[in-house]
Structure 1
Amino acid sequence: MAIFSARNRDATAYPIQSLFIPFPFVCFTLALATDIAFWQSGNLLWQNFSAWLLFAGLVFGGLAILVGVFDLLRPRTQPLRPTFLSALLYLLILVLAVANSLVHAGDGWTAVVPYGLALSAVTFVLCLVTAAVSARKYARLAWRV
């Protein structure tokens, strides 16, 4: 029989989805940076980087959703679960990233410059808003100790 200390029990309450959530934020931020680089240089290498970054962000975002559903079934993760607004913003970010990925699937300059760059910028701003909304909840939890 295993004896769990307070540290071990606290570790089991950690939501696993928190391991996957930062990856889409980083990928979508870098996609905006590579879109700006493509806009300034016209080099197709940056368009390909953007497309791959969007794909990687969507894969990890989908993984975060799957693991998040698993975390919903674990009762111990209840205090650290994201708020409804945070979850809604996460889903909105992924929907915008899917649309952005479809725009980036085009060829050449028109695949990025008018709409792809704008979608990347809106996705980035939503990532910042979501991080701020999530941080407020965790800051309130830290003071509740």
Structure 2
Amino acid sequence: MTVFSSDNRDSAAYPLQSLFVPFPFVCFTLTLGTDLAFWLSDGHLMWQNFSSWLLFAGLVFGGVAIVAGLLDMLRPRTRPLRPAFLTIVIYIVILALAFLNSLVHAGDGWTAVVPYGLAISVVTFILSVFAAAISARKYSRLAWRI
């Protein structure tokens, strides 16, 4: 009988944080989309509610991802797959901006989204793309052993 598993302890374990990190990126990107829809629809409140809920979901999953990342720090087998320090800092800045954006979106009507909420959503999206690019570069180097 052939056994397909090995006892090789040198292989890397899959980090838990990788399960939760994509959710905030998707939620914050969709928040930008719903903020744009709010702006283009001349203030239809449904889009503001969608933005608020997306920010809430992104912050909840972001908090879970941070806890999972801290648990991954305790696991030595996840060391090769840990994100770079710059990525961690950008991720925390993204969550702080999203929390600020959530406070801005808590207001009523047009002024809760258009001048500042939309700008914070754009900055959050740009930082998310930047963090994903840095992370992808590290993982591609790891995969290709460069």
Which string of whole-angstrom CA distances, capped at 9 and with x for unpartnered residues, describes residues 33-86 of structure 1?
A: 000000011110000000000000000000000010000000000000001000
- In structure 2, C-alpha distance between the alignment counterparts of 1:14 and 1:99, rounded to whole Å: 32
**Counterparts in 2 of 1:7 and 1:89: CA distance versus 1, 3 Å:** farther
Aligned partner of 1:21 in structure 2 is: 21
**Counterparts in 2 of 1:10 and 1:102: CA distance versus 1, 3 Å:** farther
Q: Is the partner of 2:114 in helix, strand or coil? A: coil
Which string of whole-angstrom CA distances, capped at 9 and with x for unpartnered residues, describes residues 69-119 of structure 1?
A: 000000000000001000001000000000000000000000000000000
- In structure 2, C-alpha distance between the alignment counterparts of 1:6 and 1:136, rounded to whole Å: 29
Aligned partner of 1:88 in structure 2 is: 89
Q: RMSD of the TM alignment (CA)?
A: 2.0
- In structure 1, C-alpha distance between the alignment counterparts of 2:89 and 2:29, rounded to whole Å: 19
- In structure 2, C-alpha distance between the alignment counterparts of 1:24 and 1:9, rounded to whole Å: 32
| Identity fraction in percent | 71
Unaligned ranges ≥5, structure 2: none
Aligned partner of 1:50 in structure 2 is: 51
After TM superposition, the runs of 4+ consecutive aligned structure 1 residues lying more than 3 A away are 6-12
- In structure 1, C-alpha distance between the alignment counterparts of 2:51 and 2:11, rounded to whole Å: 36
**Counterparts in 2 of 1:139 and 1:71: CA distance versus 1, 3 Å:** same
CA shift for structure 1 position 10: 7.9
**Counterparts in 2 of 1:142 and 1:118: CA distance versus 1, 3 Å:** same
Counterparts of 1:64-75 in structure 2, within 5 Å, are: 64-75=65-76
Aligned partner of 1:108 in structure 2 is: 109
Contact 2:90 2:131 in 1 (8 A): yes
CA shift for structure 1 position 7: 8.7
**Counterparts in 2 of 1:46 and 1:74: CA distance versus 1, 3 Å:** same
2:31 maps to amino acid:
A
- In structure 2, C-alpha distance between the alignment counterparts of 1:7 and 1:139, rounded to whole Å: 26
- In structure 2, C-alpha distance between the alignment counterparts of 1:100 and 1:62, rounded to whole Å: 16
